[in-house]
Amino acid sequence: MKQRLLFLGPPGAGKGTQAQRLAEQQGLLHLSTGDLLRAEVAAGTPLGQEAEAVMARGELVSDALVLAIVRSRLEQQAAAGGGGWLLDGFPRNVTQADALAHLLDELGQQIEQVVLMELDDAVLIERLLARGRADDNEQVIRHRLEVYRQQTAPLIAYYQDRGLLAPVEASGTVEAIGQRILTLLG
Ligand code: AP5
C-alpha cells in the first residue's frame, strides 16, 4: 500500500477521522497540523499564543510557523530510520506545497498519493456544528470554507497536474469511507 500520503479537503470532510484510522491500521506517522497547533495552544507556548486568535477566526496560521512544525517532525522520523507518513491539513496553500516539495527533496522522499475528500457544504456544516470545537460556530465555519476555496482548493489542480490526486466521496459511514480509501491506495 502507498505509505506517503496527503489528505486534502474542506473542513469537516473527515480528514482527521480517516487519517487517524488509516495511520493506526498501517503504522504510519499521522501529522495533523491542526492537532499540533491546538496542542501548542493548550500548553500556552509562545507558538500557541501566536496561533490561538488566528485559529479562532478560521484563518491560516503563518506558513513559516506551520512549516517549522512539519519540518521538525519529518526530519525526526527520517533520522529515526524513516517510514510512512500521512499529512492531514497540510499543505494548505501553494506556498506550503512548494515548501513541502523542497523539504521532501532534501529528505529523498516523495508523496505517493493525495487523497481528496469531497462532501457537500450542507453536510460539512452540520457535522462541524454537531462537534462544537472552539472554531466550530456557523460564522467561523463559513469563513473556514471560504479560506479553503480561496487558498487550499488551488492544490487540487496542483496535485492533479503532478498525477497524484485521488478523489474520494466522503459521505456515508466512517467504515465505508475508510474502505473506499483503502481500495484506492491498494
Ligand atoms: P484543522 O484542524 O486542520 O481543521 P479543518 O481543516 O478545518 O478540519 P476539521 O478538523 O474541521 O475537519 P476534518 O476534515 O479533519 O474532519 P474530522 O475528521 O475532524 O485546522 C484548524 C485551524 O488550524 C485552521 O483553521 C488554521 O487556523 C490552523 N491550521 C491547521 N493547519 C494549518 C496549516 N497547514 N496552515 C495554516 N494554518 C493551519 O470530522 C469532523 C466532524 O465530523 C467530527 O465531529 C467527526 O466525528 C465527524 N465525522 C467524520 N466522519 C464522519 C462520517 N463519515 N459521518 C458522520 N460524521 C463524521
Give per-residue pLDDT as tens, 71-115: 999 999 999 999 999 999 999 999 999 999 999 999 999 999 999
Cβ atoms of 13 and 118 closer than 8 Å: yes
Q: Kindly list the domain boundaries of the chain, sorted by start residue.
A: 4-185
**Nearest CA among 158, 149, 132, 147 for reference residue 57:** 147
For residue 1, give the amino acid letter.
M
Q: Which of 130, 111, 142, 159 is nearest to 10 (CA)?
A: 142
Q: Which fold has domain 4-185?
A: Rossmann fold (3.40.50)
Catalytic residue, candidates 133, 142, 149, 162: 133
- Kindly report the protein residue whose alpha carbon is nearest to atom 8 of ligand 1: 11
Query: Residue 136 has which C-alpha cell?
Result: 466550530
pLDDT in tens, 126-142: 999 999 999 999 999 99
Q: Assess whether 21 carries a catalytic annotation.
A: no
pLDDT digits (tens, 9 = 90+) for 44-77: 999 999 999 999 999 999 999 999 999 999 999 9
Structure pTM? 0.97
